[in-house]
Amino acid sequence: MLNFCNPPAAHVARQQIDALLGMAEQAGIEHDHLQRLLRLSKADWQEWLKLEEDAPIPTRPDLPLLLRHLGWLTSQLDRAARSAYA
C-alpha cells in the first residue's frame, strides 16, 4: 500500500509565493503592488516573504486564506500572460 503524506504547510506556502513572485517578475509587477493586490499590510507581506528564509509561518492572515489569494492572483497573471502571447 502506498503511503502518501501531505507536504509541510510552510513548503506549500513557499512554493506558491515563489510561483507568484516569478510570474510577477515576468510581468514587471513590483512586490509592493503584489502586497496591495493581496490586500495585505506591508508588515504582513514582509512576514510572508520571510518564508523564503525558512522563517515560521506567520499567523496573519490564516494560511488557507493566503493560499486562496495567492492562487487567484497567480491565475490572473497566468491568464494575462497567455492572452498577451495569443
**Taking the domains of the chain in order of start, what are their residue ranges?**
10-85
pLDDT in tens, 13-33: 999 999 999 999 988 899 999
Question: Could you tell me the pTM of the whole model?
Answer: 0.82
**pLDDT at residue 5 is higher than 60:** no
CA dist., res. 68 & res. 1, Å (int): 32
Structure confidence at residue 3 (pLDDT) = 46
Contacts (Cβ under 8 Å, ≥6 apart) of 73: 20, 34, 37, 38
Contacts (Cβ under 8 Å, ≥6 apart) of 61: 40, 44, 69
The mean per-residue pLDDT over the stretch 46-65 comes to 92
pLDDT confidence band for 86 (50 / 70 / 90): low
